């Protein structure tokens, strides 16, 4: 059967790398076959993302009946409370150990969801690998999303060796551990004790010796970290704006702040952000959240004379 799907069009030489990235992020549409178009490959994806185009694909018959799900390590997360679909997903791949249904949206200060186990082992914990880094995660205890893996790489690629980094909302440490490869030091803060415990495990597993895990309210960081930072990560999309003042207090003049926000328009917070001492602000679409809202990242260069 043929169907119209969103896809990424990439040069053949980039094909396998892109396929792996999409698989890790849970975005690869495995119900359709990747196809070629001259020197390019058309890789089907499960939703619209930046740079996606719409093309016709052939469905893979034997997997057609699998319901939609997102993969994080050995866990498949379904949108529907569908035990029969969950059993089919569990049987479809040896590496899946559990199928979950997200009973709630992301909620509370720790940004976690409530899950119900539909099939497999009775757990919300799993192991996840991203660009060679290994993470212990527990979806009911601490926030984690594989969908930001390309964002982490984008920021890592921008960094200079020896930068001082602050991750204000670090969760189980995916940004901190990715950026530690190039940083001299990463201060990684979270208010959720369970997230910090998992982060410490992940720091040890990945043998990082330059990350300082902090169990703290990010509001208090300017009183804790005394040396100005070259780069600050603010990944708390629903509530990050009230913390911008603290970020400017900690950034060095000319430093960079990456602020993630949930918006209806890309430029939604530009006016608010321009009240701070900024040199330049660029914004880019990150991923969709709901039909009318999406995540955006503001890359903010702090003014060369940051008076904060």
State whether residue 156 is helix, strand or coil: helix
| Closest distance of CB 191 from ligand SAM, Å | 4
Does 110 contact ligand SAM by CB under 6 A? yes
229 binds ligand SAM (CB under 6 A): no
Query: What does the block give as tokens for 51?
Result: 């740079």
User: Which is nearer to ligand SAM, 72 or 99 (by Cβ)?
Assistant: 72
Q: What is the Cα–Cα distance from 152 to 178, expressed in whole angstroms?
A: 7
Q: Which of 57, 69, 128, 169 binds ligand SAM (CB under 6 A)?
A: 169
Site track for ligand SAM across 145-164, x = CB under 6 A? x--x----------------
Task: Pick between residue 100 and residue 236 the one whose CB is nearest to ligand SAM.
Answer: 236
The nearest distance, CB 17 to ligand SAM, in angstroms, is 22
Q: How far is CA 110 from CA 132, 141, 182, 292, in A?
A: 26, 8, 28, 24
- Please identify, using beta-carbon distances, which residue of 112 and 306 lies nearer to ligand SAM: 112
- Residue selected from 170, 273, 302, 303 as contacting ligand SAM according to rule CB under 6 A: 170
In the chain, where does DSSP find H-type helix?
12-24, 83-92, 149-158, 174-180, 193-205, 221-224, 244-250, 270-273
Q: How large is the angle between the packed helices 149-158 and 12-24, nearest 10 degrees?
A: 120
To ligand SAM, the closest distance from the beta carbon of 194 in angstroms equals 9
Q: With beta carbons less than 8 A apart as the criterion, state whether 134 and 127 touch.
A: yes
Residue number of the CB closest to ligand SAM reads 171
Nearer to ligand SAM, 101 or 143 (CB): 143
Q: How many CB atoms lie within 10 A of CB 277?
A: 15
For residue 291, give both structure tokens. 């039909």
Which distant-in-sequence residues (6+ apart) come within 8 Å of 242 by Cβ? none
Measure the CA dihedral 46/50/55/57, to 10°.
-30
240 binds ligand SAM (CB under 6 A): no
* d(C-alpha 39, C-alpha 72), whole Å: 31
The torsion region of residue 228 among left (phi > 0), alpha (psi -120 to 50) and beta comes to: beta
Size of the site for ligand SAM (CB under 6 A): 23
* Residue 187 interacts with ligand SAM (CB under 6 A): yes or no: no
The verdict on 261 binding ligand SAM (CB under 6 A) reads: no
Say whether residue 195 binds ligand SAM (CB under 6 A): yes
Stretch that binds ligand SAM, among 59-67, 85-93, 187-195, 224-232 (CB under 6 A): 187-195
CB nearer to ligand SAM: give 18 or 202. Answer: 202
Using CA atoms, how far apart are residues 241 and 258, in angstroms rounded to an integer?
12
Position 217 contacts ligand SAM (CB under 6 A): yes
Which residues contact ligand SAM (rule: CB under 6 A)?
109-111, 142-145, 148, 169-171, 174-175, 189-192, 195, 217-219, 235-236
């Amino acid at each position: 059967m043929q169907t119209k799907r969103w896809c990424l069009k990439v040069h053949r030489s980039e094909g396998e790398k892109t396929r792996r990235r999409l698989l890790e992020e849970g975005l690869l549409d495995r119900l359709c076959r990747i196809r070629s178009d001259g020197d390019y490959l058309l890789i089907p994806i499960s939703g619209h993302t930046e740079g996606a185009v719409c093309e016709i694909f052939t469905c893979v018959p034997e997997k057609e009946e699998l319901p939609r799900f997102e993969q994080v390590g050995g866990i498949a997360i379904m949108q529907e409370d569908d035990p029969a679909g969950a059993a089919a997903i569990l049987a479809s791949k040896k590496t899946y150990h559990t199928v979950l249904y997200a009973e709630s949206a992301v909620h509370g200060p720790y940004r976690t969801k409530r899950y119900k186990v539909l099939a497999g082992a009775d757990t919300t914990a799993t192991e996840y690998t991203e660009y060679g880094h290994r993470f212990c995660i527990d979806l009911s205890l601490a926030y984690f999303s594989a969908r930001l893996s390309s964002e982490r790489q984008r920021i890592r690629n921008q960094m200079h060796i020896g930068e001082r980094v602050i991750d204000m909302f670090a969760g189980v440490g995916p940004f901190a551990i990715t950026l530690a490869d190039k940083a001299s030091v990463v201060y990684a803060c979270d208010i959720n004790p369970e997230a910090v415990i998992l982060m410490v495990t992940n720091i040890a597993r990945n043998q990082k010796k330059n990350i300082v895990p902090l169990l703290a309210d990010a509001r208090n960081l300017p009183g804790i970290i005394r040396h100005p930072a070259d780069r600050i990560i603010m990944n708390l999309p629903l509530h990050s704006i009230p913390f911008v003042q603290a970020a400017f207090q900690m950034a060095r003049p000319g430093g960079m702040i990456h602020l993630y926000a949930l918006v209806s328009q890309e430029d939604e917070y530009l006016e608010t952000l321009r009240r701070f001492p900024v040199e330049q602000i660029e914004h880019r679409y990150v991923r969709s959240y709901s039909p009318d809202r999406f995540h955006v990242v503001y890359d903010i260069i702090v003014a060369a004379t940051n008076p904060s």
